[in-house]
Amino acid sequence: MTGKGIVKIVTDIPGPKSRQLYSENEQNVPRGVGHQTPIAVSSAKGATVTDVDGNTYFDFAGGIGVLNVGHRADEVVRAIKEQADKYLHVCFHVLIYESYIRLANKLNTITPGQFPKKTLLLNSGAEAVENAIKIAKYYTKRYGVLSFLEGFHGRTALAMSLTGQIQPYKSNFGPSVPWVYHLPFAYCYRCPFGQTYPSCEVVCARYMERIFESEISADAIAALIVEPVQGEGGFIVPPKEFFPELRRICNEHGIVFIDDEIQTGFARTGKLFAAEHFSIEPDMVLTAKSLGGGMIISAVTGKAEIMEAPHVGGLGGTYGGHPLSCQASLATIDIIERDNLAGRADSIGKKLKEALYAMQERYPIIGDVRGLGAMVAVELVKDRATKEPAPKETAQIRVKCYQNGLIMLSAGIHHNVMRILVPLVITDEELEEALSILEEAFKSI
Ligand SMILES: Cc1ncc(COP(=O)(O)O)c(C=O)c1O
């Protein structure tokens, strides 16, 4: 399980059935498909998971941000079953169906931006990223793309090129797609310019203009793609001036602004979409993960004028907007709106931050506590003054957590961030119990 430069993650398989399955996994599945825990699931509901040996865990991972409405939400399961009784697959290029069109209409309505929109449905986040760039290139007749250091946009060739993290995503996978340029993100805890906010005047946002002078001219850039809060990068929240400044520069040069909400979307940050926190209107919004409530779906929603650029037959795919996934998504969005999960994310986030700030006072290893809504993380360091990253200890804490019944994820370019993507249906009692497991793990290090 050890990758180059990556700490060993999986230790102690939790029981005989898990051990057996894990060994069969090693024999049959390539090691490149890494694992954050050795837990083999048997069932899951709400914010908890049970493994094949009968152990139960609080789930702070939510399938990596997929389960904002929780595991097996009743309405989602019902919608899938009802659809399965009618038809499974017909391919939207062959026969149209209502759920695809209703979901496109819903996304056109709820995504940020007061202008006519259209939506293309696909399967994975990476596929949404690929299609958004493809459409932006067609529309602008330009071929350059800007993305960010520490950013993550997926594992396909172009999405991997846009990603700003070498380990484990890019190393040894060959040259990037050409004409992709990475900009510094507003990572204030480790400012790439060695400055401090607000006296820095958010200099990072204007770095794009340096690239236009030295690397590629602005009129060759089709699109800028950015996560409003960097997810895999370690839940990095930029200051409020960052996005308006990026938007201003994009407007000035006719660059399509693509907002990758694949991890931040659907109430996670306390608003339906994180861009709403920064008062910007992106030209395109990408969604996946919690859009499907556990089913496989992604979407590109954008200004109608941009989305209409490609010719008939230039977009799509066999499974894009699968009927089971469309019905699951419609049920998911209903739950999010009906139960005000954005409000719930806000209150979960406040509880998490309060508990984590208190832990920061007790455990010097916690260098930074940050996040937006219920997208909260801690960055672990060996020394608060030098900020030397603590990846080994991060992995040890994660192991301690699952041994005691809490599934945690790590993130960050230095593999030293513990992030929380708990289902937003967790109860206050469950949350408190889970946090006490986390505290025990910090205590043990
Ligand atoms: C912000 C962001 N973009 C894109 C992706 C890629 O999505 P997928 O794994 O579904 O291809 C991810 C996945 O973690 C993500 O967090």
Decide: 230 in ligand 1 pocket, CB within 6 A. Answer: no
- Residue 383 structure tokens: 């020394």
Question: Is there a contact between 67 and 420 (Cβ–Cβ < 8 Å)?
Answer: no
- What's residue 172's pLDDT? 95
Which ligand 1 atom lies nearest to the CA of residue 124? Answer: 10
Which ligand 1 atom lies nearest to the CA of residue 156? Answer: 11
Q: Which of 160, 162, 157 is nearest to 145 (CA)?
A: 162
- pTM score of the predicted model: 0.96
Decide: 225 in ligand 1 pocket, CB within 6 A. Answer: no
- Residue 344 structure tokens: 């719930």
Collect contacts of 203-207 with beta carbons under 8 A, ≥24 apart.
204/242, 205/241, 205/242, 205/245, 205/246, 205/249, 206/245, 206/249, 207/183
- What's residue 7's pLDDT? 37
Decide: 263 in ligand 1 pocket, CB within 6 A. Answer: yes
CA–CA–CA angle 265, 232, 156 (5° rounding): 90
Q: Whose CA is nearest to atom 13 of ligand 1?
A: 154
Give residue 315 CA to ligand 1 midpoint distance, Å: 20
Report how far apart, in Å, the C-alpha atoms of 409 and of each of 37, 63, 65, 227, 378 are: 9, 10, 10, 19, 11
Give residue 358 CA to ligand 1 midpoint distance, Å: 31
pLDDT in single tens digits along all 445 residues of the chain: 233 333 344 557 788 999 999 999 999 999 999 998 989 999 999 999 999 999 999 999 999 999 999 999 999 999 999 999 999 999 999 999 999 999 999 999 999 999 999 999 999 999 999 999 999 999 999 999 999 999 999 999 999 999 999 999 999 999 999 999 999 999 999 999 999 999 999 999 999 999 999 999 999 999 999 999 999 999 999 999 999 999 999 999 999 999 999 999 999 999 999 999 999 999 999 999 999 999 999 999 999 999 999 999 999 999 999 999 999 999 999 999 999 999 999 999 999 999 999 999 999 999 999 999 999 999 999 999 999 999 999 999 999 999 999 999 999 999 999 999 999 999 999 999 999 999 999 999 8
Which ligand 1 atom lies nearest to the CA of residue 263? Answer: 16
Burial class (CB in 10 A: 0-12, 13-18, 19+), 266: buried
- What's residue 9's pLDDT? 46
Q: Which of 309, 284, 326, 272 is nearest to 101 (CA)?
A: 326
- What's residue 11's pLDDT? 57
